[in-house]
Amino acid sequence: MRPINGDDVNKAVAECLTALRPAVERDWTATGAGQVEWNCHVTAFHVAEALVSYAGQLAGRAEDSYVPFEITLDEGTDNAGLLHVIETAGALLAATVRTAPPGARAFHPYPFGSADREGFAAMGVTEILLHTHDIAEGLGLTFEPCADLAESVLAWLFPHVQPGPAPWPTLLWATGRGELPGRAPVTDWRWRNNLVIPAGRVTLTGVRPAAARDLSLGGDGGFDWIDGGPYQGTRDASGMLLKAYEAGVHRPEFGVFALVRAEDGRALGAMGFHGPPDEDGLVEIGYDLAEGARGQGYATEALRGLSAWALARDDVRILLAKIDLDNGASRAVVARAGFRQVGADDKLAAYELRR
């Protein structure tokens, strides 16, 4: 489980070409592609279209919709030429991912309206792997990509899916292409890019399972931290996120968010939920900041932004924060964000914000 980058796009393309080149003399237009409704030729062209589209979205920083362009094949392009188009399109996406700055995002509808550079790389890898499987199945070829690629795709785009005994069968099951012992068949699915929530001078950036694992093990999770970060609370929360993912109960929108300063892209701390809301719509929230970011209002801005996002949902009615009695600064943060104290014991004060 690790972050996905442009090299992974090229790696997936190489596996696609290795699997399909032995069948370039076959009639792909007359052969159905596995369980999809397209023939093998249309499916292969779809892969090329998707890769070019993702490169265009990210390069053009599309904000509200798809960039209005499409690609076409020259008349008479054979299967070998079509594979060359896939190879070229993959190289374009890989280069775009490598050169996009950290934090760059562009429009993609599923499920939160945008994706970052790693998300576009992961979507490209997913398109390549799954549709190579479809084409290979239609042509009677064997295809099984390296487990590392499938595992990374699952951790990056399918954080709501519990890991299975092996990554590739789990990815096929999660996308309605196979069975997995002990799990019901999947008939409807979507991948999930991470959620980002603007909040004044910071952006709350959803932490994926692969990043959470790195943070829990002492790494930076792919973020550029200010001095003193990440704080231990961030590492502990990331460990909790990872356990929820491995247990199959992680809901990404109620996970952990890194607080990334808009002006320079540096991570200041983390904020998030202790889990999804309960049956009464109550969800507990927590946060921390690296010492160098404290006392400057960042936590208050972030808490206001996350609270507004949460309370706008139908499944959230009450936000709860429990804070050490002697942590005056943190108690002041929740008060400025509109929370009111509703109780206390000998160690903690409880604060609530209701819809």
Mean pLDDT, the chain, whole residue set? 96
What is the pLDDT at residue 30? 97
What is the pLDDT at residue 321? 98
What is the pLDDT at residue 3? 82
How would you class 261 by CB atoms within 10 Å of its CB: exposed for 0-12, middle for 13-18, buried for 19 or more?
middle
- Count CB atoms within 10 A of the CB of residue 96: 26
Report how far residue 63's alpha carbon sits from residue 82's, in angstroms, rounded to the nearest whole number.
30
- Count CB atoms within 10 A of the CB of residue 64: 7
Q: Which residues of 122-160 are buried (b: 16+ CB within 10 A; e: fewer)?
A: bbbbbbbbbbbbbbbbbbeeebebeeebbbbbbbbbbbb
Query: What are the pLDDT digits (tens) for 29-42?
Result: 999 999 899 999 99
CA atoms within 13 Å, Cβ hemisphere of 83: 20
Query: What are the pLDDT digits (tens) for 259-311?
Result: 999 999 999 999 999 999 999 999 999 999 999 999 999 999 999 999 999 99
Domain 196-354 CATH superfamily: Gcn5-related N-acetyltransferase (GNAT) (3.40.630.30)
Report the CATH number of the 6-174 domain. Answer: 1.20.120.450
Residues 162 and 247 sit within 8 Å (Cβ to Cβ) = yes
Residues 177 and 187 sit within 8 Å (Cβ to Cβ) = no
What is the pLDDT at residue 2? 79
Using the structure block, give the residue that is written with the tokens 């792909």. Answer: 28
Domain boundaries along the sequence of the chain: 6-174, 196-354
- Alpha carbon of 151 to those of 1, 162, 216, 308: distances in Å? 6, 11, 18, 34
* Residues of the chain predicted below pLDDT 70: none
